[in-house]
Amino acid sequence: MHSELHSRRSLHSLGLQADPRVSTEIPTGAAPPHGWVVPRSPTSLAPIAAVRLDDAASYETTITQATETFRRWREVPAPVRGQVVRAIGEEFRIHKEALGELVSLEVGKIRAEGLGEIQEAIDIADFAVGLSRQLYGMTMPSERGMHRLYEQWLPLGPVGVITAFNFPAAVWAWNAMLAAVCGDVLIWKPSLLAPLTAIACNAIAERVASRMGHPGVFRLVIGNDAEVGERLVADRRVPLISATGSCRMGRRVGQVVAQRLGRTLLELGGNNAVIVHEDADLDLALKSVVFAAVGTAGQRCTSTRRLILHESIADRFLERLVAAYRSIRIGDPLAEGTLVGPLISAAAVEGYDRAVKAASEQGGKVLTGGKRLSPGGLTGYFVEPTVIRAPKGNRLPIAHEETFAPILHAFTYRDLDEAIAMNNEVDQGLSSAIFSLNMRATERFLGPSGSDCGLAYVNLGTSGAEIGGAFGGEKDTGGGRESGSDSWKAYMRRQTCTISYGTELRLAQGIQFG
Ligand code: NAD
Query: Measured between alpha carbons, how far is residue 457 from residues 274, 370, 393, 450, 485 in Å?
Result: 9, 28, 26, 12, 17
Report the pLDDT value the prediction gives residue 288, as an integer from 0 to 100.
Answer: 98
CA 335 / ligand 1 centre spacing (Å) = 28
Is 301 tagged catalytic?
A: yes
Is residue 267 within 8 A of residue 479, CB to CB? The reply is: no
Report the pLDDT value the prediction gives residue 514, as an integer from 0 to 100.
Answer: 81
Is residue 429 within 8 A of residue 267, CB to CB? The reply is: no
Report the pLDDT value the prediction gives residue 59, as an integer from 0 to 100.
Answer: 98
Find out whether the beta carbon of 132 lies less than 6 Å from any atom of ligand 1.
Answer: no
Find out whether the beta carbon of 23 lies less than 6 Å from any atom of ligand 1.
Answer: no
Report the pLDDT value the prediction gives residue 4, as an integer from 0 to 100.
Answer: 65
Give the residue, out of 37, 107, 120, 166, with the most ligand 1 atoms within 8 A of its beta carbon, to mutate for a pocket test: 166
Comparing C-alpha atoms, which of 14, 41, 201, 188 is closest to residue 122? 201
Report the pLDDT value the prediction gives residue 3, as an integer from 0 to 100.
Answer: 57
Give the nearest ligand 1 atom to 193 CA: 26
Residue 97 exposure: Cα atoms within 13 Å on the Cβ side:
7
Rounded to 5°, the CA angle 5-11-16 comes to 150
Q: Which residues of the chain have pLDDT under 70?
A: 1-9
Query: Measured between alpha carbons, how far is residue 84 from residues 132, 384, 440, 493 in Å?
Result: 10, 44, 47, 22
Neighbouring-strand partners of residue 263: 240
Report the pLDDT value the prediction gives residue 2, as an integer from 0 to 100.
Answer: 45
Q: What is the DSSP letter of 76?
A: S
Give the phi and the psi of residue 60 in degrees, each rounded to 5: -60, -45
Give the phi and the psi of residue 100 in degrees, each rounded to 5: -60, -40
Report the pLDDT value the prediction gives residue 11, as an integer from 0 to 100.
Answer: 78
Q: State the DSSP H helix or E strand holding residue 265, giving kind and residue range, or none if neither.
A: strand 263-267
Is residue 432 within 8 A of residue 457, CB to CB? The reply is: yes
Is residue 388 within 8 A of residue 364, CB to CB? The reply is: yes
Find out whether the beta carbon of 69 lies less than 6 Å from any atom of ligand 1.
Answer: no
Is residue 219 within 8 A of residue 185, CB to CB? The reply is: yes
For the chain, the domains span: 2-57+72-268+478-494, 272-467
Q: Which of 4, 106, 267, 482 is catalytic?
A: 267
Neighbouring-strand partners of residue 428: 475
- Residue 113 identity: E
> Residue 190: CB partners within 8 Å, gap ≥ 6?
163, 168, 172, 197, 198, 220, 222
Q: What is the DSSP letter of 95?
A: T
CA 455 / ligand 1 centre spacing (Å) = 19
Query: Measured between alpha carbons, how far is residue 55 from residues 31, 36, 61, 159 in Å?
Result: 18, 11, 10, 19
- Residue 444 identity: R
C-alpha span between 492 and 139 (Å, rounded): 17
Looking at domain 272-467, its CATH class is alpha beta
Is 182 tagged catalytic?
A: no
Give the nearest ligand 1 atom to 478 CA: 41
Report the pLDDT value the prediction gives residue 299, as an integer from 0 to 100.
Answer: 98
- 3-state DSSP call for residue 488? helix
Report the pLDDT value the prediction gives residue 1, as an integer from 0 to 100.
Answer: 37
Q: Is the pTM of this model over 0.95?
A: yes
C-alpha span between 361 and 117 (Å, rounded): 37
Comparing C-alpha atoms, which of 51, 44, 49 is closest to residue 4? 44
Question: Count of CB atoms within 10 A of residue 124's CB?
Answer: 27
Find out whether the beta carbon of 267 lies less than 6 Å from any atom of ligand 1.
Answer: yes
Comparing C-alpha atoms, which of 67, 33, 69 is closest to residue 53? 33
C-alpha span between 379 and 411 (Å, rounded): 34
C-alpha span between 418 and 413 (Å, rounded): 6
Phi-psi region of 421 (alpha: psi -120 to 50; beta: other; left: phi over 0): alpha
> Residue 453: CB partners within 8 Å, gap ≥ 6?
272, 423, 429, 430, 431, 432, 473, 474, 477
Q: Which of 201, 247, 301, 453 is catalytic?
A: 301
User: What dotted CATH number matches 2-57+72-268+478-494?
Assistant: 3.40.605.10
CA 55 / ligand 1 centre spacing (Å) = 20
Find out whether the beta carbon of 487 lies less than 6 Å from any atom of ligand 1.
Answer: no
Pairing between β-strand 386-389 and β-strand 407-413 as defined by DSSP bridges: parallel
End-to-end Cα distance, the chain: 87
